[in-house]
C-alpha cells in the first residue's frame, strides 16, 4: 500500500517594498452620513436581494391580450401595464423615493428577454440552454456568499441564480409566464436565426468552452451607456406627451409610417409612468395618514406633492430635478435587463437647479449633502436580475452606475463645479458602491478639485477612478467623426458602465430665460457585440490543436502544425481569434436585431437624442451616434506573458521544448488545481507529489519576462497585440453597419474565465484567476515599482481602444496625510500625462482583506475596487476575492 | 393570518418588512397582530377561479395566483 501524500501548502504575499508589520492599518478617513441616511443604510445592510413577479405578470398578460397589434405599440402597452401594477413602497426616512420593484433591493425576471436560466436544472428548457452553451458560465461562477445575496432557499423563499430571493407562492406563476415566452423571447427567437450563421456550431463550442462569457442580445441588451435626462427636465412628462402628440399628427399617413407607431408608443408608455408615479404619491399620502410624528407626516405630504407635480410638470427645484432624474433612471432599468446605466455628469446636469436654489436660500450645503447621500442609497439599492454567470461571473452583483465629475464644458473650459465637490464629499460620508465615480482628468481642472478627488480615493472606496479626458475625446473623435462628432460635442462625453467611453451631447436646458448647455449621453448601449473573449483560453486551444482540453471537445478546426516557431503560434492564435470574433459578431448581430424587432427600447429611446425628433427608436439608429458595438477581451496580460514565456524559454533560450512545456502545463506544474483547493490566486497554492519534477520548468515560466516591469522584451509583444487588436476589430460590422472597436475591461470575468483555463505558459496555475483589467500586471509580477508599470502600460496608444484599465493597490500608510495626498496626486498625474486612459486604486492593507475573508460578518461595509467598479467585499465571489488579495500591494511610491 | 397578508405590511425584502402603523420590523411569515386588516389579493376576487392550491384563472382567461396583490387591479371585485 503506497503512502498517502501530504499536500504541501505554500503561502506568499505580493508586496513592492517592505511588507507591513504590526497591526492591520485601517483606512485613513472615516466619515459618516447624516443620521437619517445612516438609518436607511442600516436597513440596506439587513436587506436581501428580492425578486417579484408583479411586473412580468402584468406585462405578459397585456402582451398576450394585444396579439396582432403593431409590435412597438404592443410593447408600450405591456410596459404601461407593468408600471401601473407595481405595488408602491415608500420606506421610512426616504427623501428620494421609488424603486424598481416593491422591495428595497427589488428586481424581477424579464422572460420576454430570456426565460431558461431561472428554470430548475431539471427543467427541459434549462437543459436545452446548457446544451447550447448559453449557461456554461453559470456552471463555473462562484457567487458571493454574504451580504444581501440569497444563496440558498429557506422557509417560504426560493433562491434564484444564487442571489435573488423569490417568495415560494410566486414560483408557479413565474414558471407559467416563462413558458408562455417559450419560442417567443429574444433569447429563443435569436437562437432560431443565429443558427443560420455559417459556422454556428463553432459558436456553440466557444460558449461551452467559456471562451466567450455570454451573449448580449438577450442577457443585457442595454447599458454600458450614459443616460440623458434633458427631455424630462426641459419639458416634464406632459410636455413630452404634447410634443409626441404633435409629431404623431404630422406622421399619420405620411412616410415613414413607423414614426406614427413610435409616437403612439411613446404616449402610451408615458401614461404608464404617470400612473406609476401617481400610485407612489397616493402611497405617500397613506403613509402620512398613518404617521404620528408631525415632521415625518409633513415629509410624506411633501413627497406626495412632489410626485403629483412631477407626474405632469417639469421640476422647479434641485430636489424636484433629482427626484425626476431618479424616476427616469429606474424607469429605463425596468424596461430591460440592464447593467451599467450611468447617470453621467449629473453634477453638471443639475447644477443650474442647485445654484438657483442656493442663491435663493432654498437649500444649503448640509441639506444638499443629505440629498446626495440619499441618492447614493437609491443607486446602491439597484439590482439587476440576470443569470448567475452574468450577475455573478461578470457583474459581481454590481450594476455600474457611473457618475462622472470634471471634464470640460462646451467651450473647452473646466466643467468642475461646487455641486461636484459635494458629490465627492457625499461619496465619502456615505461610502456605498453606487453610484461609482469617475473623475475626467484634464490639465484645466483646478487643483482643489483634484485634491478633493484624491481625498475621496484615499478613503479606500475605490472611487473616483481617474480617467484621461483628452484620451477619451481622441477616441470619440476618431470613431464618431463620420456621424458628425466635432471637438465641441466630444467634450460632452462621459463613462458608461464601468469604463466604456460613451458619446454625449450638449442639450439646451432653459431656466428663467437663460440657456444652460447640459451634457448627456447620445449613443445607445455599448459593450454589446462580442462579449469577453478569453485570450488565454484561445491560446490554450492553439497549443492543443483546437481542442478544449478541459472538456475534450473540439472548438476550432485542427491546425495540425508543429508549433515550431513563435511566429507560427502567433499566426494560429490570430486565426482562431478571428474565427471567434467573426462568428460572435454575426450571431450577436442577429440577437440584437431580434431584440429591436420584438422588444425595442422605449423609455431610453425617448431620452436619447435624437430619437424623439426622428421618430425612431435606438434599434433603428434613432440616436445621434450609433457606432457602439465592440469586441471585449479578457486576460490580455496573461496572454502576453504567456507568449513572452514561450518565445523566451522555447525559442530564444531553448531552455525547454514545446512538448515539455505542454506536459508541465497538463500536470499543472506540480500543483493541485485551484478548483480543488478553492484558492484562486498564486498566493495560496498546494504542491502535489510531482512538484519537484516540474519545479524547474515552472520557475523558468515564472521568471520569463513579465508585463509591468518596463521590459521591452515583453512590452513589445504587448504593443504588437494592442496594435493588431484595435485594427482587427474594425474589420467587423455591427447590425447598424458600423465598424466595431476594441474594448478592454475585465469586470469580473477574469474569475470564471480563469477557472476553466488550464495552467498557462506564464506560470499561472490551472483555474487561477487572470490578471484583472487590461493593463494591470498579473498579481506579484510587477517588481519594479509603479513608474515601471506606467511605462509598460503606456507602450501603445490608449486612444485606439474604447478604454484601458489599470488597477493598483496601495497601502494606506504610503499616502497618509496632506503630504501623502500631494504625492498621490503626482503619481496619478504622472500616469495620465504619459497617455494612460484610466487608473483606479484600492487603498487597503491586504491583511485586512484576508481577515475579512475569514471573518466576513465583521466586514459587512468593507468595499473594494474590482475592475471598474466598487463592491462590498462580502458580495464578491471567492475567485475575485482571492485575486484582489493577491494584487501587488505598493508599500512605497 | 400572517403579516404578509396585512394591508399595512411594507415589504423590505422577501423575508421581512415594516408595519406601516407601528414602524416595527416584522417577519413576513409570522402571525399577524390584532390590528390586522386584510390585503386584497386575487383569492378575494370574484373574477378569480381556483384551479389548484397554487394557481387559478382570472376572468376565465389568464393564469393568476391566489396571493397576488390586487390593490391596483382595475378588475378586482371583492368576493361576497
Q: Quick: pLDDT tens for A792-842.
A: 999 999 999 999 999 999 999 999 999 999 999 999 999 999 999 999 999
Calculate the average pLDDT of chain A: 94
Indicate whether A2 pLDDT > 80: no
Average pLDDT over residues A316-326: 98
Indicate whether A76 pLDDT > 50: yes
For residue A126, what pLDDT band results from cuts at 50, 70 and 90?
low
Are the beta carbons of B73 and A169 separated by less than 8 Å?
no
Are the beta carbons of A173 and B10 separated by less than 8 Å?
no
For residue A13, what pLDDT band results from cuts at 50, 70 and 90?
confident
Chain B closest-CA separation from residue A317 CA (Å): 29
What does pTM read for this prediction? 0.96
CA-to-CA distance for A528 and A734, rounded, in angstroms? 9
Contacting residues of A for B45, CB less than 8 Å apart: none
Least confident span in A281-285, A648-652, A751-755: A751-755
Are the beta carbons of A105 and B13 separated by less than 8 Å?
yes
Q: In chain B, which residue's Cα lies nearest the Cα of A44?
A: B12
User: Which cell is A747 given?
Assistant: 469586470
With an 8 Å Cβ cutoff, is A286 touching chain B? yes
CA-to-CA distance for B9 and A290, rounded, in angstroms? 12
For helices A351-359 and A318-333, give the axis angle rounded to 10 degrees.
160
Residue A414 DSSP label: B
Give helix then strand counts, H and E, for chain B. Answer: 0, 6
Which residue among the candidates A212, A430, A498, A743 is catalytic per the annotation?
Answer: A498
User: Which cell is A578 given?
Assistant: 478571428
Beta bridge partners of A807: A840
Average pLDDT over residues A4-21: 67
User: Strand B9-11 relative to strand B16-19: parallel, antiparallel, unpaired?
Assistant: antiparallel
User: Which cell is A319 given?
Assistant: 430636489
Are the beta carbons of B21 and A49 separated by less than 8 Å?
no
Are the beta carbons of A87 and B15 separated by less than 8 Å?
no
Average pLDDT over residues A3-19: 63
Asked if A121 contacts A134 with a C-beta cutoff of 8 angstroms, the reply is no
Count of A-B CB contacts under 8 Å: 80
Contacting residues of B for A103, CB less than 8 Å apart: 11-14
Residue among A425, A449, A447 nearest A439 (CA)? A449
CB-hemisphere CA count at 13 Å for A153? 11
* Interface predicted TM-score of the whole assembly (ipTM), two decimals: 0.98
Q: In what order do the strands lie in the sheet with A629-634?
A: A528-534, A629-634, A741-743
Question: Which member of A89, A155, A156 has the closest CB to residue B10?
Answer: A89
pLDDT at position A1 is 34
Question: Which member of B13, B67, B71 has the closest CB to residue A169?
Answer: B67
Least confident span in A363-367, A587-591, A867-871: A867-871
pLDDT at position A3 is 36
* Whole-number Cα distances in Å, A85 to A166, A278, A450, A780: 18, 12, 46, 53
Q: What is the pLDDT of residues A370-420, one digit of tens each?
A: 999 999 999 999 999 987 778 777 777 788 999 999 999 999 999 999 999
Chain B closest-CA separation from residue A85 CA (Å): 6
* Top-confidence residue, A397 or A587: A587
Based on the residue annotation, tell me whether A498 is a catalytic residue of this protein. Answer: yes
Contacting residues of A for B13, CB less than 8 Å apart: 47-50, 103-105, 165
The full DSSP string for A337-378 is -EEEEE-BSHHHHSHHHHHHHHHTTS--HHHHHHHHHHHHHH
CA-to-CA distance for A440 and A416, rounded, in angstroms? 10
Amino acid at each position: 500500500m503506497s503512502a498517502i501524500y501530504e499536500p504541501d501548502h505554500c503561502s506568499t504575499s505580493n508586496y513592492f517594498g517592505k511588507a507591513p508589520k504590526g497591526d492591520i492599518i485601517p483606512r485613513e478617513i472615516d466619515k459618516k452620513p447624516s443620521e437619517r441616511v445612516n438609518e436607511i443604510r442600516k436597513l440596506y445592510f439587513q436587506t436581501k436581494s428580492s425578486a417579484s413577479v408583479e411586473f412580468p405578470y402584468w406585462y405578459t398578460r397585456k402582451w398576450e391580450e394585444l396579439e396582432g397589434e403593431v409590435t412597438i405599440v404592443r410593447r408600450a402597452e405591456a410596459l404601461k401595464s407593468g408600471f401601473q401594477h407595481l405595488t408602491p413602497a415608500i420606506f421610512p426616512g426616504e427623501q428620494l423615493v421609488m424603486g424598481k420593484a416593491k422591495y428595497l433591493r427589488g428586481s424581477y425576471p424579464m422572460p420576454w428577454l430570456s426565460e431558461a436560466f431561472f428554470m430548475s436544472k431539471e427543467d427541459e428548457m434549462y437543459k436545452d440552454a446548457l446544451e447550447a452553451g448559453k449557461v456554461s458560465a453559470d456552471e463555473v461562477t462562484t457567487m458571493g456568499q454574504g451580504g444581501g445575496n440569497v444563496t440558498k432557499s429557506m422557509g417560504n423563499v426560493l433562491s434564484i441564480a444564487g442571489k435573488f430571493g423569490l417568495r415560494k407562492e410566486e414560483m408557479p406563476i413565474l414558471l407559467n409566464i416563462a413558458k408562455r415566452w417559450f419560442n417567443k423571447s429574444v433569447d429563443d427567437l435569436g437562437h432560431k436565426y443565429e443558427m443560420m450563421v455559417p459556422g454556428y456550431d463553432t459558436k456553440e463550442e466557444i460558449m461551452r468552452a467559456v471562451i466567450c462569457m455570454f451573449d448580449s442580445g438577450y442577457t443585457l441588451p442595454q447599458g454600458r451607456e450614459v443616460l440623458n435626462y434633458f427631455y424630462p427636465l426641459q419639458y416634464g412628462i406632459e410636455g413630452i406627451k404634447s410634443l409626441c402628440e404633435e409629431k404623431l399628427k404630422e406622421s399619420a399617413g405620411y412616410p415613414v409610417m413607423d414614426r406614427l407607431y413610435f409616437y403612439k408608443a411613446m404616449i402610451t408608455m408615458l401614461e404608464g409612468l404617470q400612473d406609476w408615479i401617481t400610485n407612489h404619491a397616493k402611497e405617500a399620502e397613506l403613509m402620512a395618514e398613518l404617521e404620528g410624528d408631525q415632521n415625518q407626516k409633513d415629509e410624506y405630504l411633501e413627497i406626495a406633492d412632489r410626485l403629483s407635480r412631477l407626474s405632469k410638470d417639469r421640476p422647479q427645484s434641485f430636489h424636484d430635478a433629482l427626484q425626476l432624474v431618479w424616476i427616469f433612471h429606474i424607469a429605463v432599468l425596468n424596461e430591460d435587463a440592464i447593467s451599467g446605466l450611468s447617470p453621467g455628469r449629473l453634477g453638471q446636469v443639475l447644477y443650474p437647479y442647485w445654484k438657483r436654489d442656493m442663491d435663493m436660500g432654498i437649500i444649503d450645503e448640509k441639506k444638499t449633502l443629505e440629498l446626495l447621500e440619499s441618492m447614493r442609497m437609491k443607486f446602491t439599492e439597484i439590482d439587476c436580475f440576470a443569470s448567475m454567470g452574468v450577475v455573478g461571473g461578470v457583474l459581481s452583483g454590481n450594476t455600474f452606475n457611473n457618475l462622472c465629475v470634471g471634464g470640460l464644458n462646451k467651450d473647452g473650459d473646466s466643467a468642475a463645479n461646487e455641486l461636484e465637490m459635494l458629490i465627492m464629499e457625499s461619496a465619502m460620508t456615505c461610502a456605498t458602491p453606487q453610484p461609482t465615480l469617475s473623475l475626467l482628468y484634464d490639465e484645466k481642472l483646478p487643483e482643489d478639485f483634484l485634491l478633493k478627488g484624491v481625498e475621496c480615493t484615499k478613503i479606500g472606496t475605490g472611487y473616483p477612478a481617474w480617467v484621461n479626458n483628452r484620451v477619451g475625446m481622441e477616441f470619440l473623435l476618431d470613431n464618431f467623426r463620420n456621424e458628425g462628432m466635432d471637438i465641441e460635442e466630444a467634450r460632452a462625453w462621459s463613462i458608461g458602465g464601468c469604463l466604456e467611453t460613451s458619446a454625449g451631447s450638449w442639450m439646451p436646458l432653459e431656466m428663467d430665460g437663460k440657456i444652460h448647455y447640459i451634457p448627456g449621453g447620445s449613443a445607445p448601449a455599448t459593450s454589446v457585440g462580442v462579449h469577453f473573449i478569453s485570450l488565454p483560453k484561445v491560446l490554450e486551444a492553439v497549443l492543443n490543436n483546437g481542442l478544449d482540453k478541459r472538456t475534450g471537445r473540439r472548438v476550432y478546426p485542427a491546425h495540425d502544425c508543429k508549433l515550431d516557431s513563435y511566429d507560427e503560434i502567433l499566426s494560429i492564435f490570430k486565426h482562431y481569434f478571428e474565427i471567434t470574433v467573426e462568428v460572435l459578431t454575426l450571431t450577436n448581430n442577429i440577437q440584437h436585431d431580434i431584440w429591436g424587432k420584438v422588444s425595442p427600447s422605449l423609455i431610453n429611446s425617448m431620452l436619447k437624442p435624437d430619437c424623439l425628433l426622428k421618430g425612431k427608436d435606438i434599434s433603428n439608429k434613432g440616436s445621434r451616434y450609433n457606432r457602439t458595438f465592440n469586441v471585449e477581451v479578457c486576460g490580455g496580460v496573461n496572454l502576453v506573458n504567456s507568449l513572452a514565456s514561450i518565445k523566451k524559454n522555447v525559442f530564444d533560450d531553448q531552455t525547454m521544448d514545446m512538448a515539455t512545456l505542454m506536459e508541465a502545463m497538463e500536470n499543472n506544474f506540480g500543483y493541485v488545481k485551484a478548483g480543488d483547493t478553492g484558492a484562486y490566486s498564486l498566493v495560496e497554492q498546494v504542491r502535489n507529489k510531482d512538484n519537484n519534477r516540474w519545479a524547474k520548468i515552472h520557475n523558468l515560466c515564472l521568471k520569463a519576462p513579465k508585463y509591468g516591469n518596463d521590459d521591452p522584451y515583453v512590452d513589445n509583444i504587448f504593443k504588437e497585440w494592442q496594435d493588431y487588436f484595435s485594427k482587427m476589430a474594425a474589420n467587423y460590422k455591427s447590425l447598424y453597419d458600423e465598424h466595431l472597436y476594441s474594448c478592454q475591461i475585465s469586470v469580473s470575468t477574469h474569475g470564471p474565465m480563469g477557472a476553466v483555463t488550464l495552467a498557462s505558459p506564464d506560470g499561472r496555475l490551472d483555474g487561477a484567476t487572470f490578471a484583472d483589467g487590461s493593463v494591470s500586471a498579473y498579481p506579484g509580477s510587477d517588481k519594479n515599482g509603479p513608474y515601471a508599470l506606467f511605462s509598460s502600460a503606456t507602450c501603445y496608444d490608449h486612444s485606439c481602444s474604447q478604454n484601458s484599465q489599470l488597477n493598483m493597490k496601495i497601502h494606506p500608510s504610503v499616502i497618509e496625510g496632506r503630504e501623502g495626498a500631494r504625492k498621490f496626486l503626482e503619481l496619478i498625474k504622472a500616469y495620465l500625462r504619459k497617455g494612460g486612459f484610466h487608473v483606479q486604486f484600492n487603498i487597503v492593507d491586504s491583511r485586512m482583506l484576508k481577515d475579512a475573508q475569514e471573518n466576513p460578518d465583521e466586514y459587512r461595509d468593507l468595499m473594494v475596487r474590482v475592475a471598474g467598479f466598487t463592491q462590498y467585499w462580502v458580495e464578491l465571489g471567492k475567485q475575485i476575492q482571492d485575486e484582489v488579495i493577491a494584487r501587488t500591494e505598493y508599500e512605497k511610491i | 393570518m400572517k403579516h404578509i397578508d396585512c394591508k399595512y405590511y411594507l415589504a423590505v425584502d422577501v423575508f421581512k418588512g415594516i408595519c406601516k402603523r407601528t414602524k416595527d420590523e416584522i417577519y413576513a411569515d409570522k402571525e399577524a397582530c390584532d390590528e390586522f386588516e386584510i390585503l386584497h389579493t386575487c383569492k378575494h376576487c370574484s373574477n378569480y377561479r381556483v384551479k389548484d392550491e397554487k394557481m387559478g384563472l382570472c376572468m376565465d382567461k389568464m393564469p393568476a395566483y391566489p396571493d397576488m396583490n390586487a390593490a391596483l387591479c382595475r378588475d378586482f371585485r371583492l368576493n361576497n
